[in-house]
Amino acid sequence: MTGRRDAAWALAAAAAFAALLGPALLDPGRAVANFGDLYGYHVPLHHLAASRLAAGHLPFWNPYVFSGVPHLADPQTALFYPPATLTRLFPAVWAFTALAFFHLLLAFVGAQLLARRLGAGAASAAALGAAFALSPFTAGRLLQGVPTLLFSLAWVPWCWLALLERRAWLLAGVWALQGLSGHPQFAAMNALAMASWSLAEPRGRGRAFLVGAAGAAALALVQAVPAAELLTRSNRRGLPEAFASAYSMPPRALATLLSPRAFGDPRDGTFAGDPSEWFEEYALSLGLAPLAAAAAGAGSLPAARAGWALAAAGAALAAGSHAPWWALWKDGPLAALSRVPARFGVWTLWGLWLAAALGWARFARSASRTARLGAGVLALAALAEAGRTGASLLGSEDAAAYLAPNRAVAEALGGRLERVLTAPGLPNADKTMMYRLMNVNGYAAYYPARLAEYAFAAEGRPAADPSRLYLATPSAPGVRALGVSAVLPGPGGTPYARVDGAAALARVPGGSASVQSPRPESWRVRGAGPGPLTFAIPECPGWRAWVDGRPAPTRLAEGLFLQVDVPDGPFQADFRYEPPGWTLLCLAAVLAWAAWARAGLVWYRLSV
């Protein structure tokens, strides 16, 4: 910290965050109150990763949703994000509460240090730290149920601090952590904002930005390459207009800068739309006091005006389909990566924050006692605003209602090599991961586009959206080919319903085959040929096959499955999955982090 007063403010913030999250921190059975994605998506993902790591294997493949998808390649697993180690060591629900506390404090301290670097006083810097950390756009992600959005946003001030200090090695490290934290969209948007700022305010920062960008890319390569490969084949490529423009921020939403509840609140049912719309499109509030400081800075400081320009650019892009220029960039790579134009609101929030910090710094440098007193009053008002917002966003609830196990399902179906179909209305389809049930439906940020195409053909109607599959007819030939043996939940309130005559996972024309799987990435099929062996696992780069110990080429069958040729008579076919180029990626990651650590050590020795 820059002084004892700053340390005292940080300790006070830690105490406040601990008080707000206290019930969930002290009771592992409670969770941060949210609208459901924490239970329906993030806890199952991390539960699966933890169990696979405990067994001594990296979780390359997830067979428990979408009939099987790459697991490590999904950035929301945050598999290589160091703080996420908590979810591997402790119960996942409690670990997410601890991670929420850590990232709120991380966001506060980063913003506080950056505000001090820009010249704000101690109280003003604390107010700015609280305003950023407890903004509905930031802390509200916990209530939304998407904690990884908070994780990514918490690194924004640290990236800018490293950039302003021209510490390329530090920028590389914190920027890589932002990319590994679970939502690389914000890392990409942050990159564009920092690049623009570096061009407007060069002073040697351009070089720091370029070196930091190269370093961050190298440090995050082990996650970025598999994720990019999945993205190129994912449902986000060529989305229909209705999906691509979803969560476009209407211009009227800018009124939330002045009044967070201008259009209601999903917590009390006064917001007219879906809760996710509120969190994505109507949560830009930074507080009136910071907004006043931002306005004061814009009056005389070019850098503050640059902050307002960044805010305006963010609002223009966040408008998405509400703006005439949407057609110019909707098919670009950044739009495909985000799928939520409103998230460019991070530029609006951050640009106004920068202008506010510079405005407060102007007050701090003023010779006028009145100006300094005004800055103090404004800081107290901002702290009060942020405190009220935080208290309204951060609560706790009993998680048992959402995660209590269904013992009948677990005993009847859990861990077996057969597939189930969760009814489309079931909100937590991914909970099947926790039972080790292989579900043909699922919920994910993005998944291979081929699955959506197959679902359409199988059902004879659209049966997918950007996040889910909605297979619903176990008797349909395409669904039967997946090997569905049970439906969850069953009719009449029964725990499950068996499906008669389910197809086998591995099929040979005129023969039979049995399947074994010691782990999700390794499958063995024994049977009798001849003919093509069709294995009902989605074809994906990284799958390799051996027939009777010899490598065998695979091909796509029935629009989705793996297929190999097998000889006449008894055979043994082995299928194994590993992300393409995995050994080289691991080697590159080790070398990159070793070089980063050495650069940090050199900087430390020179600085002392």
3-state SS track over 22-60 = HHHHHCCCEEECCCCHHHHHHHHHHHHHHHHHHCCCCCC
Closest CA to 357 of 311, 290, 305: 290
Secondary structure (3-state) at 566: strand
Tokens of 298: 């814009």
**Least-confidence region, from 215-219, 369-373, 382-386:** 369-373
518 & 494 share domain: no
Per the domain annotation, does 604 fall within a domain? Answer: no
Give the pLDDT band (50/70/90) at residue 1: very low
Per the domain annotation, does 597 fall within a domain? Answer: no
Per the domain annotation, does 105 fall within a domain? Answer: yes
The C-alpha atoms of residue 181 and residue 90 are separated, in whole angstroms, by: 18
Residue 300, number of CB atoms within 10 A of its CB: 11
81 & 214 share domain: yes
Look at the alpha carbons of 582, 588, 593, 594 in this order and tell me if their dihedral is positive or negative: positive
* Contact in structure between 219 and 596 (CB atoms under 8 Å): yes
Query: How do residues 532-563 score in pLDDT, each as one tens digit?
Result: 999 999 999 999 999 999 999 999 999 999 99
Domain stop point among 375, 398, 421: 398
144 & 227 share domain: yes
- Which residue pairs, CB below 8 angstroms and at least 24 apart, start in 267-271? 267/143, 267/392
Beta-ladder partners of 15: none
Residue 281, number of CB atoms within 10 A of its CB: 26
* Contact in structure between 14 and 117 (CB atoms under 8 Å): no
How many domains would you assign to the chain? 3
Residue 347, number of CB atoms within 10 A of its CB: 25
* Contact in structure between 59 and 48 (CB atoms under 8 Å): yes
Query: How do residues 263-311 score in pLDDT, each as one tens digit?
Result: 999 988 899 889 999 999 999 999 999 999 888 877 767 888 889 999 9
161 & 194 share domain: yes
> Token match 């179909």: residue?
421
> pTM surpassing 0.85?
yes
450 & 530 share domain: no
Query: How do residues 299-343 score in pLDDT, each as one tens digit?
Result: 767 888 889 999 999 999 999 889 998 888 777 766 665 678 999
Residue 438 is given by DSSP the state: E
Residue 552, number of CB atoms within 10 A of its CB: 17
Task: Count Cα atoms within 13 angstroms, Cβ side, for 243.
Answer: 15
Per the domain annotation, does 82 fall within a domain? Answer: yes
364 & 430 share domain: no
* Contact in structure between 459 and 476 (CB atoms under 8 Å): yes
346 & 425 share domain: no
348 & 438 share domain: no
The C-alpha atoms of residue 497 and residue 491 are separated, in whole angstroms, by: 7
Give the pLDDT band (50/70/90) at residue 2: low
Domain that holds residue 449: 404-498
> Token match 């069958």: residue?
557
Q: What is the pLDDT of residue 201?
A: 67
Per the domain annotation, does 584 fall within a domain? Answer: no
Cα Rg of the chain, angstroms: 26
Per the domain annotation, does 606 fall within a domain? Answer: no
* Contact in structure between 429 and 436 (CB atoms under 8 Å): no
Percentage of residues in the chain having pLDDT higher than 90: 70
Domain stop point among 466, 498, 530: 498
480 & 522 share domain: no
Q: Report in angstroms the alpha-carbon separations of 535 from 209, 453, 458, 566.
A: 48, 18, 17, 12
Closest CA to 418 of 472, 485, 513: 485
Domain stop point among 337, 366, 398: 398
What value does the mean pLDDT take over residues 225-240? 84
The C-alpha atoms of residue 137 and residue 155 are separated, in whole angstroms, by: 14
Per the domain annotation, does 605 fall within a domain? Answer: no
Q: Report in angstroms the alpha-carbon separations of 342 from 145, 250, 339, 431, 465.
A: 17, 9, 9, 29, 19
Query: How do residues 490-526 score in pLDDT, each as one tens digit?
Result: 766 778 888 888 889 999 987 778 999 999 999 999 9
Beta-ladder partners of 538: 561
Query: How do residues 22-75 score in pLDDT, each as one tens digit?
Result: 999 999 999 999 998 999 999 999 999 999 999 999 999 999 999 999 999 999
* Contact in structure between 526 and 547 (CB atoms under 8 Å): no
239 & 312 share domain: yes
417 & 391 share domain: no
Query: How do residues 111-136 score in pLDDT, each as one tens digit?
Result: 999 999 999 889 999 999 999 999 99
Could you tell me whether strands 419-422 and 484-488 are parallel, antiparallel, or unpaired per DSSP bridges?
parallel
Q: Is the pLDDT of residue 202 over 70?
A: no
Per the domain annotation, does 55 fall within a domain? Answer: no
410 & 365 share domain: no
Q: Is the pLDDT of residue 237 over 80?
A: no
Residue 497: which H helix or E strand, with range?
A: strand 497-498
Helices first, then strands: H and E counts in the chain: 27, 17
Q: What is the pLDDT of residue 336?
A: 61
Query: How do residues 382-412 score in pLDDT, each as one tens digit?
Result: 999 999 999 999 999 999 988 888 888 888 8
